[in-house]
Structure 1
């Protein structure tokens, strides 16, 4: 019955979204010797995220955890730990690889350390919106990267959580790449991020998101690039005056765990875990998309000015990042496969 319901759910979604990341079907290499679902054991998974417990994605993760508990009759217990309570994201990925019952909300940029080319998903102006990103995830090439992650010891539960598009926020306007010359901007440390921000004209600087507010306030850094959801929840409007609306990276979030832990689950629970995270991620993404106008209004109501930028200039500047990472041809290949 569970598999039938999952199939009906996928069939009701738009074609490109239903297969977003292939999250409701396990890649080849799944453990065929998994224990039976009636073994009486309770499987516990601690899910670590940098998101606060007031964020929209946290609510989407909690919905998935509740659904998994319901569909496994309490036999799979997923507990969400917000605000990096368990530790830094990279450390949590390492623990998952060691076989611990740890899951992590991460992104393709960080996973590029294990499968390099998957990082293209987090490059500047790779896709324009959620739907296009989902089309990319449906390609044979992307599914191949997912299988490579399994071989590296990482199991994706879903690729389709979404937190919106990232823009530059700081004390000044940045209408063109030239305006970012010499501006130190906080960005995640993975190459797809840092190379993109560098190509757009800024100087990338990697610190934890939790340190950004104070770092801008004390002028240790000049600005940040962030999506509206996090800008509102972190009250970044208290230290930044302008949103330069570049929308340069559409932020897809990925839930992963260690393949060693995942393979201990009964096959039925493996499928439930993937199906439920996929469907709840889709629902969460729709809520985030629908909230964008209201989130922007909250930023404006709290004193920020929305700055329209020269998008053509930023998109042209971004091309050099693909060249530096050797992804110019890969970008075109992915567009052809996805029909973009």
Structure 2
């Protein structure tokens, strides 16, 4: 390629980019740590398309996946200060900012993913939104991050008795360690990247995660028994900087909010499809899925965990309201 041709191509690209930028009166930057194509990323992209269409191209949202703008904790702080306009992050990362989000990491809090959606789309989700607003974050939509379940290399886990004495990798999190203690198993915190070899060599018996992670990590190759107990479902949040939100007209705020909530419907659908595809893949590879279990004994065993972490009347009331949601 000649220098002249290359220069011409670069000039053309610059003109196209410039024209595109001129069409957008306001361009918002949105961060996600997940890779391109992941349900949460595709959800925000769909939101961006709807916003651009309904504002006749005035407002554009540029999505930066794969932690291009930083890890979740850093990008949340940048969003609070208006350096970044939007962020998608797990509730777990908001624990130090909005303390009530800690309660959503309690084991067996949600009966199912449908139960979680009803809680987050109802009055409880609205109240949490007010708590986020006090921290300069506007809660736009609650996404689904899947349900974590146990898998191991030794035997099918069909009851709480089957867990006794088994060694499971968990995240370095006190709630997780206490959960395993309450179930009669041994918690072994370790980096995620070490889990495969640790199961393979017998250092641990298993771990816990959702179907897509169980599949993509290769853990299904060394831990063939997957028990669908769904002990943890942590919501995810798409939030906007209050500084950015306040710059929008009431009409544009309504467009952004509606588009975000519509995107949550899509994201949940994409997540369910990804879970189903991963389940089919691991089953085809020989994994045994244990789905027909009585979860009540697992739930009952969490009493000391809840006693330890749900200590105020306000927290106790919130947990009860979540459980009472039909």
**Unmatched 5+ residue regions in structure 1?**
1-38
Query: Which of residues 97, 107, 126 in structure 1 aligns to 2:109?
Result: 126
- State the match for 1:48 in structure 2: 32
Map residues 1-340 of structure 1 onto 2, 5 A cutoff: 41-49=25-33, 51-72=34-55, 73-82=57-66, 84-159=67-142, 161-173=143-155, 174-177=157-160, 179=163, 181=165, 183-187=167-171, 189=173, 195-200=178-183, 201-203=185-187, 205=189, 207=191, 223-289=206-272, 292-308=275-291, 309-326=293-310, 327-336=315-324, 338=325, 340=326
1:287 CA displacement: 3.9
Secondary structure in 1 matching 2:301: helix
Secondary structure in 2 matching 1:44: strand
Q: Is the 8 A contact 2:105 2:234 kept in 1?
A: yes
1:127 CA displacement: 1.7
1:197 CA displacement: 4.9
**CA distance in 2 between partners of 1:219 and 1:65 (Å):** 47
What do you get for the CA RMSD once the two structures are aligned? 3.2
1:150 CA displacement: 0.7
Quick one: structure 1 residues 54 and 333, their matched pair in 2 at CA, closer, same or farther if it must change by over 3 Å? closer
Q: Is the 8 A contact 2:154 2:205 kept in 1?
A: no
- State the match for 1:19 in structure 2: none
Quick one: structure 1 residues 198 and 75, their matched pair in 2 at CA, closer, same or farther if it must change by over 3 Å? farther
Quick one: structure 1 residues 108 and 40, their matched pair in 2 at CA, closer, same or farther if it must change by over 3 Å? closer
**CA distance in 2 between partners of 1:135 and 1:56 (Å):** 20
Quick one: structure 1 residues 188 and 130, their matched pair in 2 at CA, closer, same or farther if it must change by over 3 Å? farther
**Structure with more contact order per residue of length (Cα contacts < 8 Å, sep ≥ 6):** 1
1:279 CA displacement: 0.5
Q: Is the 8 A contact 1:115 1:148 kept in 2?
A: yes
Query: Which of these two proteins has the greater Rg computed from alpha carbons?
Result: 2
Q: Is the 8 A contact 2:150 2:227 kept in 1?
A: yes
1:220 CA displacement: 7.3
Quick one: structure 1 residues 197 and 240, their matched pair in 2 at CA, closer, same or farther if it must change by over 3 Å? same
Q: Is the 8 A contact 1:119 1:192 kept in 2?
A: no
1:325 CA displacement: 0.7
Deviations 1:186-238, CA, capped at 9 Å, x for gaps: 3374x66555455444426364x567556656777653321113333444324
* TM-score under structure 2 length normalisation: 0.75
**CA distance in 2 between partners of 1:272 and 1:192 (Å):** 39
Secondary structure in 2 matching 1:64: helix
Quick one: structure 1 residues 40 and 93, their matched pair in 2 at CA, closer, same or farther if it must change by over 3 Å? closer
- Count of aligned pairs between the two proteins: 295
- State the match for 2:16 in structure 1: none
1:95 CA displacement: 2.0
Q: Is the 8 A contact 1:109 1:120 kept in 2?
A: no
